[in-house]
Amino acid sequence: MKILVLNGPNLNLLGRREPDIYGTATYDDLTAAVRRHAEKLGVEVEIRQSNHEGDLVDWIGEAIGTADGIVLNPAAYTHTSVALLDAVLAAGIPTVEVHLSDLTKREAFRQISFVRAACIATVMGHGIAGYTEAMDLLVKR
């Protein structure tokens, strides 16, 4: 089984970015935790991050026929991107939406997620552990 982990804008700045909201763990800590968990589960994993919406759309499209599941933190594009919603719908690959922070406790504009309608589950507010929980959900499925 192969899982694709996609991260949207500014997640490369984890650790120094609003640590009171996102924690002090860095992006490298995140990728290390995901790789360790993939090894434990016995699955292949590919991890990518981009600040550009089109990159994320391209990578979801390219995952057709190569990935069995997607863990997706679209970051700010969660709240704006119909293109990402359409990409996940078009790919037809089981996708779990992940957010480090608990969006239900944040600003009104973060209560909208376009991509959620195409996802099998949403994990939020669990920090980096949310990524490994999402991987577990995909493997169980």
- Provide the b/e sequence for 114-137 (b: ≥16 CB within 10 Å): bbeebbeebbbebbbebbbbbbeb
CB of 141 to ligand DQA, least distance (A): 22
Catalytically annotated residue among 79, 99, 126, 131: 99
Query: To which H or E segment does residue 90 belong?
Result: helix 82-91
User: Is residue 79 among the annotated active site residues?
Assistant: no
Cα–Cα dist 78/36, whole Å: 26
CB of 94 to ligand DQA, least distance (A): 19
Confirm or reject binding of residue 76 to ligand DQA (CB under 6 A): yes
Which residue has the CB atom at the shortest distance from ligand DQA? 75
Half-sphere exposure of 132 (CA within 13 A, CB side): 18
Q: Which of residues 14-73 bind ligand DQA (CB under 6 A)?
A: 73
Q: Which residues bind ligand DQA (CB under 6 A)?
A: 10, 73, 75-76, 78, 99-101, 110
* Active-site annotation, residues: 22, 99
